[in-house]
Structure 1
Amino acid sequence: MQAQPSLWQRSREAAYAEIARVAMELFLEQGFEQTTIDQIVAEAGISRRSFFRYFGTKEDVVLGDLAGQGELVREALEAVPDEVEPWDALRLAMQAVDALQIQPGVTLKIATMMYRTPSLRSRSIEKHLHWQALLVPEIRRRLAVGDDDPAPEAIVATAIACLDVAGERWVSGGGVGDLSVLYDRAVAGVRSGS
């Protein structure tokens, strides 16, 4: 039986969720760059110091889960049977943690904000590099290649780039379509060389 989170942990998680909710409402209403940390803390009823206890940057409010999601993708990838080839194993791992899923409405607004705000794009790329560092060892193991072989890094970096391109295409298409289909098309294009 798993231990229940302590009262302190539950309080911290509730505060984190409330600050994130308030900030996201302001971002979606006013725009990311137009929203200040001072506005967020005033609306949430907290101090700047409290804000920075929960978030390192304003960008982390939007992208905070992205780093944690990388850990989940790594765990899902390690659970995929070894006989599944690397590209398919990566897709299954991303699918297992809903990285290829979208929620109409709010997801489009958030994704549009992310793809159109330079500081968010930059932080997103940084977090995807974290994903790459997490996933490469498992792909290297599956390929049974040494540390000097660039193939694992190339496969993981390309799969993540395909996910990013699919997200950008989905946003530019007004949120119409299936993100997983766009991802599969991007991967197929890379793998076929056309």
Structure 2
Amino acid sequence: MKQEARTAAGAPATLWERTRQLATREILETALRLFTEQGYDETTVAQIAREAGVSQRTLFRYFGAKEDLLGGGQDRFGQVLTDTISEQPADVGVWEALRAGVAAVLALHDSREQALERFRLLHNTASLRAGYLEKRLRFQEDLLPLVEARMDTRAGSADPRARAVVATAFACLDAASMTWVASDGRGDIIDLYDECLAAVRG
């Protein structure tokens, strides 16, 4: 059954919003296909726009940079991660809240294949890794107040525990995604994340 398009707030999407959603999806699918076939660095924005049937101006109206074409942009993932953790009930532990955030980010992918190709490109493309690591450090800083609140750690204190917890969660996601890519997508990435987390927590 066809699902009605909706906005982020859950309201039925207008015609303009549905058109934007369809255009965005077409551009992302085209970009991922070309990145996979040719390589990220070898694919130009002009080529993606031409293949998707839009102008470069339109493409940049939807996506601010070429790297944002890989799965919708790291900023979007960071926002979903932060929002999901914030929405967890107060009695949910810090590790469980972080896991919920990771699961929500992974669920943003349209398919298992899309997620696998995205992680493969991310881990195998030096220019993408550099940008990802830079933004990841910013995400970690953004998450600190949320983690500190769940650990009863005073914000801005010299207590390193919250920072260590956030860094560990991201390290586990890295280890899980690298293992998943190396096995060509065998198993479930969230299960691998759980295994990594269990290993470091003892």
Does TM, scored on the shorter chain, surpass 0.5?
yes
Report if the CA contact (8 A) 1:163-1:183 is conserved.
yes
**What SS is found at the alignment partner of 2:106?**
coil
Q: Note the 1:41-190 alignment, pairs <5 A.
A: 41-95=49-103, 97=104, 99=106, 103-146=111-154, 147-148=156-157, 149-190=159-200
Q: So what's the TM-score if we normalise by structure 1?
A: 0.82
- Give the letter for the 1:59 counterpart: E
Contact 1:22–1:44 (CA under 8 A) maintained in structure 2: yes
How many residues align? The count is: 191
Distance 2:112 2:21 in 1: 25
The higher relative CO (CA closer than 8 Å, separation ≥ 6) is in 1
CA RMSD of aligned residues (A): 2.6
Superposition deviation, residue 23 in structure 1: 1.6
In 1, Cα distance between equivalents of 2:23 and 2:62: 8
Identical pairs, percent: 39
Q: Within the alignment, does 1:31 sit opposite 2:39 as a pair?
A: yes
Rounded Cα–Cα distance in structure 1 between residues aligned with 2:89 and 2:27: 40
- 1:100 Cα shift? 7.4
Q: Which runs of 4+ in 1 moved over 6 A?
A: none
TM-score (norm 2): 0.80
Query: Distance in 2 between the 1:59 and 1:33 partners?
Result: 10
Distance 1:92 1:23, change over 3 A: closer
- Paired with 1:129 and 1:110, the residues of 2 have a C-alpha distance of 20
Gaps of 5+ in 2: 1-8
Task: Give the 3 Å change call, closer, same or farther, for CA 155–9 of structure 1 in structure 2.
Answer: same
1:24 aligned partner, one-letter code: L
